[in-house]
Structures are given as structure tokens and as C-alpha cells.
Structure 1
């Protein structure tokens, strides 16, 4: 009897010890699992970022102003870039347009970024007889302008190769939520994280091996698995998954859990990059924002969750449509949609339009994107730039960028091109080389080369500022100059090896005459030339030698192009920039470009410099432009270095500044010239840009005078002068004496008679 009691006590002791250890182990396991989950969830939920959200880079919005001229074909190109679709009649939803001849309308999408806000509205456009646009709203009221949204040009996914975009609960359209719930967990809003009966049914199904494996997991369990666990299918993992699901339900609201799920779910592949979250998937499969998804689009996305590979619409559209239609029926059965909505949706053909999110692989934008990244990494760090879901709005005009890339491809040598807005320094296009895949070296921002004669405007600008005029006389004779002690004499020659004796300041610049330029530089002094160049925006090292006047010191293409801006914009120095604003994943503004501008030049003087540079195109080294079909008011300067190693052309209209360079990375002689090699690239881009959109003329400021002179005496023209021309002068510097070589009146008549 005692032995039985003793044995019974031992059994009770063993059972009590076992259950105590089991309870302790379970408590420790739960504590560890929940601690691990809480640590990760603090980043996922409280920070709102998730383990990795890709950074998006956008082009600039395109703004169209009333009473301005635009090209219809170019406008249609821009609409297509924004993924607008033609409508057979008046557009009825955002993203549609309809044009008939010279009139039309479009339903503009809403967008709101730091630099511009556009409401969703119907805009009517009519082309007037003078080519300008009349822009009105749907009520016929004149609109000052409207904008097309920024186009996504790249996404940065980092080493994990995951492309994911943050969306908040309010961003998800109701029919998308209903589609996902119908497809994955129709009792989602009624359970507490797990459904034991569903798990049991799935387990029984899998034991019997009746068709494909069933998971039986709720949306909350799927989220727990995706966030915390491996794909390995074990009983232990399933138990931990259920535990985490219950904890998630206890810790967060249903809306927060579903938001995390929709942001993290895997939905396919874009090449080597995983597409995660419905926001990125909507862009990838449909080219749409979440708000633009239709019922059938939502059902298609929901159908992908079970197997993105099996139901991939690009690989097997029939299977994808069958899956979509099944989910549409489930939505009707759950009373999320009516029978008429179901019928209409399932009758709609599968409509997908692959939008490759890896836009950084697009050759035309690659150099621009790489420069944006290069500039931002020191500011934000690589982790933040690649993983924290930033939104970066750039200054890129996507259509200009495509044209610039095409223009650079025309040359047989290496080449680069940059397009700036001269009023504020915004970089509208940047092509750093012919082939980004072969070489990522950016010849716009990183290559330092001698600019040759492209530097001469700073010499002549400094002279005009010191009181010289376009008709000041310069010596054009061959000369040798002493260098430093022990160096040989420096004997620069004119490009054409012709010496004219004397030339005017205008002739010296327009024909790029080296001897005359050196004569001017010696009088103005290299120190004053450097001071002038610095004020315009040249920041590279310069030495006060006469060689400076012929562009002997290296600069970058974007630097010297930007330094021409004061000649166009009334005398303001600008700082070229590529990024207009940066937002965090929540849409909070982190940084916005200040668009630095500083007055460095009198407006009348800037106009006078432009007048000299117009002569370069009209009669000087860039007159080739006329043969290439260029016909609009413009100014610029060619540049060629020794043995044609570098060829430059910096040219501009009143509203656009474009710099081009041709050469090779080894700085070997290629015997190129600015006129022969760089000018055609500029011409191709600018002719495309001005189709249907002619640039305005240069506006004459106060303080400038247009005087009729005799070109031989450079004095005021008289009736007896056989030739006359108009010349520009700063007020107070104009000639006051009449031509002494060709007097008018009776005296002039007698001189002609007896000469």
C-alpha cells in the first residue's frame, strides 16, 4: 500500500515537474518570440518604413501655359510618357485624352509635389491662328496653366533587389481590399489572427494530397511568416506563426495589419528585382497608381498573391484571367460587388501594360540618374538612399533627355551634352557619354578638359565691363610671348593661320581670332579675366597667364555651360542643380533646392555679350548652323583645343542653354573642331526642341543703344558712307563723331566726284 502511494507521489512529482518545465519553456519561447517580433515591428509599424522600401526618382512635371506655343506631336509624346490613353470621345476619367485636329481635351491627373500642385480636372485646348494655345476648364473659363505629373524614371532597391513602395491605409481603394480579402481570407475582419478549423482542413487536404498544397493561413499568419519566418514548412514554424499572428492581432488594428500585408506581399519579378507590395505591382503590371485601379485590375493583383509565377499575366494571360474571374465571382458572393459589376468586370479583357520599374536600366536616363545618386549619397548615406522609401524629384525633362541622348549617338567619337534652364540652373537633360553600359564616367560633371575658345566670352566680357566696345580695335598680328624662366617662347597661331592686321572686338570673338584675343587679354589683364570668370560661375583652378585667354585651364562641361547663364538671364549667376526636392516615405519634405541666384552683371552688359555671341552664329565659327537648318535667334561660342583633342559648343536661345563636348577619354588627337563636330549635336537637339515651339527673341534691356555706323571708320554713319551697319553700345560708350572717311552733303558729293 505504501509502495503504491510512494509510486503515485513520484508520478505526480514527475508530471508536475514536466508541466512546470513545459510552462516555463513555453513562457520563455513566447517571451523570446514576442521580443523578437516587437523589435522588428518597432521599425515596421512605428517608423512606417518596413524592412526595405525602394527609393523612387521622378522626372520634373511638365507645365503648359496659356497663350504659349507647343508642338502637338511632342505633347502627345509627353502624354504617352505619363501613360495617358486616347479616348473615343470626351475623357471621362483621369489619364484619358481626346484630340481632333487642332482642338482637344484631356482629364488631367491630380498630383501634389513641393514645386507644383495639380487638381484632377478636364482641360480643353484649342490652337489659335498664331500657333499659341488657349487653355480652358470644363466650364470654358481660361486656365493660366496645367501640369502633367512627374514620371517615375528609376527605383533604387539596394542589395536585396526588392522594389517596394509605401502606401497608407487611405491609399488602398476599397475594391482592392475586398479583392484581397475575397482571395485570401474572407473572414479577415471576423477572426483573431488564426482559424483553427481552416488549419485543420488544410492539414487534412495536404495529408490526402488532393491537388496543390493548401496553407490554411489567415492574412495575419501570412504577414507573420513574411516578416519573421523562413518559408520552411514544419509544425514548429506553423505554431510560431500562429503565435505571432495572435500577437499581431493583439498589438495592432486590422487596418494596420492589412496595410503591412499589402505593402510587403511578393507579387512578381522585374528582371532580377522582386516586386513587393501592391503599390509597386500596380505600376509594374498596369502603369497605374493605386487610386486608378479598376475592379478587374484589383482582382488580377489579388489573384497573383497565391502564385505570382503561375498566374503571371505576361507569361500565361489565360490562366491569369481565369484566376481573376474566379476572384471576381468570390467578390460577388461576399457581396462586395453587385451582379452587374461582376458581369461587366469579367467581360473585360485582361489589360496589362508592363511598366519596367527598373527605369535606371534605360540608357537614355542612366547618366542623369547616376549623377543624382552620386550627389545624394554623401548627404543621406547609402542605406537611406536605397532602403528608406525616399521620393526624389529631379529637374529632368524626360522628352529633352530622350532627344539629348539621341543627339549624342550621332557622333563617331565620345560626346556629352547638358541642357540647363538659364533662369534658375535646373538641369533639364544630361548625357554623360555615348554608352553608359561601357563606361559610367560622366563627361558632363566629372571630366575636366581644356575648353579652348569656348572660354573667350569671359575675356571679352571682362573687356566690355572695363569700357571696351564692340568696335574697339585689336591687333591681329603673329606674336611670341615669354613664359616662365627657362621655358621656350610661346607662339600661338590663329586657327586659319591668317593675320588681318587689325580687327574689331566683335570680329575677334565671332571669328575666334587668337592673336586679337591675346592682345585684348594683355590689355585687360589675366587677373581681371579670372575675376570676371569667377563671378559668372567658373570654379575650377585658373592661373593668371595669357594662356588663360585661349582656354588652357581645365573645366567641366556643366561648369562652363552654367557660366554662360548670366549672358542670357539679365546678369544672374546660377548654380546648376539636378534635384528639386526630397521627401521621406511618409511624404514629409526633407530638402528643397534653394535655386541660388546672384546678380553679377549689368543687364545691358549681359545683352551686349549676347550680341557678340550672336555674331558667332551669324557670320563666325558657328555659321554652319544655318546649313544645318537652324533659323532662330541664338548665340554661342565654339571651342577647339590643340590637335582637335576637344571640340565644344556652348549655345543658347533666350530660354534654353545647351553645352556640348566631343573628344575621347584618353585626350588623344582626333582633329575635331567645335564647328564640325560639336555644333551638329547642338543643332539636332535644338531643332527637335523648337518644332512647333519657337523660342522668343532676346529682350532688349534699358541702358543699351543701337547705333548706325560706318564699318570702316566705326563712327556715326553719314549719307556719304557706301556701307553702313547697326552696332550695339552700352549707353554712354557709343561713338559721338561722324564718319570722317565718308562725309555727306555737298562736300561728300565733290569728294566722290573727284576721287
Structure 2
């Protein structure tokens, strides 16, 4: 027995010191969780954008900005709304009768000595647009204003979470009292473990048959941070020793503060909600310091089992547990009878409208991969991305709804779904003016599959490649020595092409051929035979060179099938190259990151796009005018028919084996790429028009309509020509009921008819 006691003491002493060493390394630095922080892009307001005061105010209220009167001084995180007369008085600026009011704010991250010079003001027009933007004071007109960049998520390695570190001073006493009342009433008295609590739990377990824990807050902290939740004697033994150690090294305030910052509080999509600061935002859209008794008691209720007491999914459980918390608080004289009754009657919070929680991790995956390619470690960084949360949400919904609909209503796809194959897709969106990528939807749901198709998918692009064939032609001359133009006639007839000892006979969709047709007509209707014939004329190597200049990095082999996109590309390459087209041949390297700061606030990366003009703007403008016809009356004509009528250009993409469906389109402001297909390369029998166009249209109706309905700004050296019905008939360009009787095209000066 003596030997056993000595051995036990030896083990205890050894455990004590070894566990103390392990704990000290983490506790003394107080770095319980050091996440990489990701910020979404700030909301951008531009002159002539669609908006009004109600929309803008709601956006700022979601970020917990404070409203002030128009004549009060604004501080960080403040805003005011004012009428036309109030605006004129505050801004010392005369507004006209069409300007109905203004909205002004100061972002939270502005330095104190720069508050006045950082006030941003939006002036609203009576047609629900922004007519003027000011920055001051003194106020001066600027083209754009920027809201606060919202904290999107934190990651520990690849583990997504939501966390907002708070000090104990920010925690309302009612929240501290609530958690102690329900979880550890003797917290301020015990030394890490509560014998009373353990004995009470044992008695209840025996008498009621229900499992009840006797863990203190200190033990819960140890278990949450240092240990696992496995139920073994060794784990429980370590928990006891480490709890005593923790209490000997830190005071109660430090232990409680840490506990409130690391405790698991639920799940928001793929993101763990960690700590009271994040929980206050998630459940109530409030700062922790602003919570009231009924909210504090609900958080304390959730702690025990965030899944069982989730107020959004299991309100009856949550309400019952909250009442228990209030009873405990009343029993400890933390609250009065009337306070308890009032809090118990308070309604539970409504489920928040979550923004892109199912697909935003795809965007953050793209961010990490970009920084990794730059050899910048992400650990501990504050990363400011270009993610547009509203646009990401819209893209996620547009893609998911279309895929769900296809799996219900398309007989072939429904059959594949029943056999276990899930149709997938991607959406990528870039801002043409900045080069920043605002949206990355790499699949239907990140929790179902983490494969990021938008970044890592390598798929055949089909007719997505055709604009580069036609652009190459527009840069060259016909065999007769005349410059190619949008109305140069092409031969759309089936023929066999012999190349390197092989014979290839490309077919048009539906096996229909149109004879002699102008270039714009062949492109808008995606005629394979005409395109291949053109590609062979202008030179396959030249097409490869143009594609590379515009942003394609994948290897392209100069085979005839290149003209029909019978090779694989990454979707980001499609985005890059189509954004170069949209910018009239000005290539801006794309980026998912605006800037990244280290723990000291020093910038370790800033996006500075390397702009370079890779092709003559007038030539690219001529191509864009042809691509506009795709949407007006070609393979993408469903777009205006279904409600998106802003000027736009694009191209459908369908692979020969019907395994990949694309639509890549752009306005002067945004370029949006959509792909639909199966990961296992099954045939879905969709075209770009039936697979990609519906997603693109639905998304652009929601997000593209923010921007003015401007046509493209045609560069110098171009001539706009409208072809009348007689001219079109002479060109054999009126062959279908939906072909228009007049067409507007852009010609490079000197090539016009």
C-alpha cells in the first residue's frame, strides 16, 4: 500500500509539472485562439448606382452603426439621414429639386484625428439613384464611397469559425451572472473543481437516471481548449489537474474572460460560433455590451448544448432552458421577481438572413491559394478581400435554384440524381474597373464538398473559345487581302479537315448549316463549321497567342479542335480573358485580395493591378459589338427575354459531348462566368443556353442592375454602323424568326461598309 501511495504521488507530481509546462506556454501569452481574420469587401457606392436612403441605412444598421441627428458631429461608427433642406444646411451646398436627401457616415476604423475629413456623403435622386458623392470636410465631390469592411470569418488552419474577442469589461454583469448561475454557481469560491457540484451531479444521476455534469467553468475551459470531449478516466484526470493549475496561475476575471471568448456557441453554416462576442452578433445582431437580461439568459442557456437549445431551430427547448437560467438567477438573488417575469416573456430572436455561409468558404479558399502562390503565410494575418457578400449570396442562390430545378424537372438529370450523381456548378464574378474578383461560388455547398471547382476545376470550355478565333480574324486580312470585319462572309458548310494525318469533320448543333453568313451572325449563333473554317484561315498558332495574351495560362495545342474549345481551362482563366475583352484589350491581373496586414498592422501585400494594353481597343470593340448580338438575338437571347436588359455581351459554351455548359458574359462593369456539369464527367445533355444562361440571367438581374444601364464606351478609331433589313437579307443574316431587322455593329475605322 505504501508503495502504491508513493507511486501515486509520483505520478501526480509528474503529471502536475508536465501539465503545468504544457499549459504555461499557452496561458502566459494569453493567446488561446489566434485566428487568421478575413474581411469581406466594403460596400461600394458610385455615382448613378441604384440605391436609396432606406437600403443604405439598413446596410449600416446591420453593421451596428449609430444614428445621429443631421446637425450632430459624427464620430467613428456614426451616420445621419437628412432631407434636402437639412443636407444643404449641414453641407453648405445647394441641392436641386430632384435631389431628395442625403446619407452621411464615418467608418469605424477611421483614426480619431481624421474623423472630419473622412465623412462620406451620398446624395439621393428622386429616381432612386445616387446623384452625388462627397468626401470631407471641407466637402469635395468624388466618384465613389466605401462602407466598412465587415469581418467575415476567422480560421484556425483550415477550420472556419466566427469569433470576436471581448474584454470582461465589455460583458454586461447580467451575462456574467447568467452563465455562473446555470453553469457554476460557486465559480467565485472554488479552486478549479467543485466537490459540491460533483456530489450533486452524482446524486441526480442516481436518483433521476439522467446524466448531469459537475464541471466547473474552469473545467469547461480546460476541456474546450486543452483537451478533447472524450469520456475516459485519463482525460478526466488531466482535466482535474489542469483546472487546479489554471486557478493557481490566473485570477477569476482572467479565467472567466477567456472562457467567454472560446466557448462553443453554435454553428453558422460551416462556421463555428466561438465565444460570447460572436454569439451576440450571430443570435441578436448586437454588440455584446448592448445585450439585455433576456438575451444574456438565452446565451447562458445555449452554452450547455448549442444544438439542443438553438433558438432558431428548437425554440421550445431554448425557451425552457432560458426559463431555467432565469430561475437560477432569481434563486441566487441576481435578479428580482419582476425582472425574471419580464425576461421570460421576451420573444426569441429570429433567424438571421445569413449571407453566403454555404459558399463563402470557396472564396476564402481562393484567397488562401492566391497568398500561398505569392509565398505569403496566412497565419495570423488580417486579410481584406474583395468579396461582395450580397453578390456572393445572390450567385449562390441563383446557381442552387437552377440546379435544384434541373434535378426535379429535367428527366435525364433527375434520373442521374436518383442514381446518386449531383449536378454541380460555379459562378465567378469580377469587377472590370478594378480587376478584383467579387464572387467565387465553387460548388453548391462547401459542407458537402470542399473541392473548389471555380479555382481548381479544369474543364473543356467549348464555344467559350470562339471569340478569340473571331478576334484573331479581326486583326488580320482575308485571303483576298481585305481586312476582316463583322460582316465578312464565312462558309458555314460541313467539310472534312485533314490535319497531321487525321480527318476531322465538325458538325453544327442540330446538324444544320447556313451557307455563306457574315462573321457576326456565325458568332452569335455559335456555328461550328464557319468557326473552324475561319480558324484554319487565320492560323491556329495566332489564336493560341491571342488567348495567352488575354489571360489563358493553360497549355493550348494548335489543333483544329482548338477553335471549338476542345481543351481544358480553369474558370479563373476564362474570367481573366473575358475581363480583358470587356476592358477593350486592357488586361488587369485579377485578385481576390485587396490587402493583407500582419499582427503589427504592417501591410504584407497590397493589390496593384499590372495594367497593360494587349490588343488594339478598336479591334476588341468590334468583337464586343458582335458578342452583344449573342445576347440580343443569338444563343443567349433568353437573357433580355427573362428580364435583364442592360447592355451586355457574352458567349455560350457547350462541349461536343454535352458534359460542360458555360455562359460567360459581361457589361461595362461586371464580368460573370457560369459553368454547370458533373464532377465525374457524366453527360448532362445541357447546352450553354440551358445550363449557364439561366444562372447568369438571374444573378445579373439582382446584382448587375445596381449599375447604370450604360452601353460600352467605344474607343477612338471606331465607327458605329446600323445595318438595315435589306442589308441583312443581302448578307443572309435574316434566317430565323428571332433575327432582328436592324443590327448595330462597331467597325474599326477603315473597315466599315
Query: What TM-score comes out, normalization by structure 2 length?
Result: 0.69
Look up the match of 1:61. Answer: 42
Q: Does residue 467 of structure 2 align to residue 457 of structure 1?
A: yes
Counterpart in the other structure of 1:278: 276
Q: Please state how far the C-alpha of 1:63 moved relative to its aligned partner.
A: 2.4
Distance change in 2, residues 1:175/1:700 (3 Å)? farther
Per the alignment, residue 244 of structure 1 pairs with: 245
- What is residue 150 of structure 1 aligned with on the other side? 150
Structure 1 position 40, deviation (Å): 2.5
5+ long unaligned stretches in structure 1? 1-16, 334-338, 715-722, 740-755
CA contact (8 A) 2:723 2:743 kept: yes
Provide Cα deviations, 1:459-489, integer angstroms capped at 9, x if missing partner.
12223234634256344153645534542x3
Give the alignment of 1:607-626 within 5 angstroms. Answer: 607-626=621-640
- Between the aligned partners of 2:198 and 2:640, the Cα distance in structure 1 is 80
1:711 deviates by: 9.6
What does residue 320 of structure 1 align with?
322
Q: Secondary structure at the match of 1:483?
A: strand
Q: Are the structure 2 counterparts of residues 480 and 68 from structure 1 closer, same or farther at C-alpha, using a change threshold of 3 Å?
A: closer
Post-superposition CA distance 1:19-56 (Å, at most 9, x none): xx99x99899668624532433323442x432x56666
Contact 2:674 2:695 in 1 (8 A): yes
Rounded to whole Å, the distance in 2 between the matches of 1:502 and 1:322 is: 82
Separation in 2, partners of 1:644, 1:273: 36
What do residues 329-385 of structure 1 show as CA deviations (whole Å, max 9, x unaligned)? 97979xxxxx9x98999698365455699x98x54556556666777789999xx98
1:391-420 per-residue CA deviation (whole Å, 9 max, x = no partner) reads: 655433333233323333324454524232
3-state DSSP of counterpart to 2:587 = strand
CA shift for structure 1 position 220: 6.7
User: What is the Cα deviation at residue 576 of structure 1?
Assistant: 4.4
Q: In the alignment, what sits opposite 2:480?
A: none
Partner of 1:522: 536
Q: Is the 8 A contact 2:41 2:388 kept in 1?
A: yes
1:394, 1:580 within 8 Å by CA — same for their partners in 2? yes
- What is the aligned partner in structure 2 of residue 491 from structure 1? 505
User: For 1:23-422, what aligned pairs fall within 5 Å after superposition?
Assistant: 33-34=16-17, 36-46=19-29, 48-50=30-32, 59-65=40-46, 67-70=48-51, 82=62, 111-112=108-109, 127-133=124-130, 145-147=145-147, 149-150=149-150, 152=152, 165=163, 167=165, 169=167, 172-173=170-171, 175=173, 179=177, 240=241, 244-245=245-246, 247-249=248-250, 256-265=254-263, 276-294=274-292, 297-298=295-296, 301=299, 314=315, 315-321=317-323, 323-324=325-326, 327=329, 349=346, 351-353=348-350, 362-363=357-358, 365=360, 368=363, 393-408=384-399, 409-410=401-402, 411=406, 412=410, 413=413, 414=423, 416-421=425-430, 422=432
SS in 1 for 2:544: helix
CA shift, 1:147, in A, is 1.7
Query: Any conservation in 2 of the 1:164–1:276 contact (CA below 8 Å)?
Result: yes
CA contact (8 A) 2:626 2:745 kept: no
* Matches of 2:204 and 2:497, distance apart in 1: 95
Match in the other structure for 2:555:
541
SS at match of 1:638: strand
Report the Cα offset of residue 563 of structure 1: 1.0
The answer to whether the Cα contact below 8 Å between 2:178 and 2:297 also exists between their aligned partners in 1 is yes
Task: Name the CA distance, whole Å, in 2 between partners of 1:633 and 1:551.
Answer: 26
Check whether the contact 2:298–2:318 (CA below 8 A) recurs between aligned residues.
no
Q: Does 1:476 align with 2:491?
A: yes
Which residue is equivalent to 1:730?
A: 748
Query: What corresponds to 1:423 in structure 2?
Result: 433
Contact residue 622 and residue 747 of structure 2 kept, 8 A: yes
Q: SS in structure 1 opposite 2:460?
A: coil
Whole-Å Cα distance in 2 between the matches of residues 279 and 539 of structure 1? Answer: 44
Distance 1:504 1:485, change over 3 A: closer
Distance (whole Å) between structure 1 residues aligned to residue 194 and residue 492 of structure 2? 97
SS at match of 2:674: strand
Deviates more, 1:236-245 or 1:206-215: 206-215
Asked whether 1:562 is paired with 2:576, we answer: yes
Deviation track 1:544-601 (CA, whole Å, cap 9, x = no partner) reads: 1232222222223332232111111242334444455566789776655555544323
Q: In 1, Cα distance between the equivalents of 2:202 and 2:709?
A: 75
Give the corresponding residue for 2:642: 628
- Residue 549 of structure 2 is aligned to residue 551 of structure 1: no
- Call closer, same or farther: CA 1:58–1:245 in 2, change over 3 Å: closer
**Structure 2 residue corresponding to 1:647, chosen from 640, 661, 664:** 661
Assess, with a 3 A threshold, how the Cα gap between structure 1 residues 106 and 225 changes in structure 2: closer, same or farther.
farther
- The answer on whether the counterparts of 1:474 and 1:519 sit within 8 Å (CA) in structure 2 is no
Query: Alpha carbons of 1:675 and 1:162: their partners in 2 closer, same or farther (altered >3 Å)?
Result: closer
Query: 1:301–1:584: structure 2 CA closer, same or farther, 3 Å change rule?
Result: farther
Q: Residues 111 and 118 of structure 1 are in contact (CA less than 8 Å); yes or no, is this contact kept in structure 2?
A: no
CA contact 1:575–1:595 (8 Å) conserved in 2: yes
CA, structure 1 residues 306+32, in 2 after alignment: closer, same or farther (shift >3 Å)? Answer: same
Q: Which runs of 5+ in 2 are unaligned?
A: 84-98, 414-422, 478-482, 729-740
For residues 633-712 of structure 1, the aligned pairs below 5 Å read: 633-642=647-656, 644-665=658-679, 667=681, 671-691=685-705, 693-706=707-720
Q: Which moved more, 1:577-586 or 1:623-632?
A: 577-586
* Distance across 1 between alignment mates of 2:42 and 2:654: 37
Q: Give how far 1:532 is off.
A: 0.6
Distance (Å, rounded) in 1 between the aligned partners of 2:470 and 2:514: 19
Larger of the two Rg values belongs to structure? 1
1:602 matched residue in structure 2? 616
**Bigger shift: 342-351 or 55-64?**
342-351
Distance 1:112 1:491 in 2: 62
Aligned residues: 680
Q: 1:514 to 1:138 in 2, by over 3 A?
A: closer
Tell me the alpha carbon deviations over residues 213-255 of structure 1, each in whole angstroms, 9 at most, x when there is no partner: 9999997787568666899799998985685256414xxx776
Contact 2:100–2:126 (CA under 8 A) maintained in structure 1: no
**Offset at 1:204?**
10
1:439/1:602 Cα in 2 relative to 1: closer, same or farther (>3 Å)? same
Q: 2:185 & 2:204 partners in 1: Cα distance?
A: 24
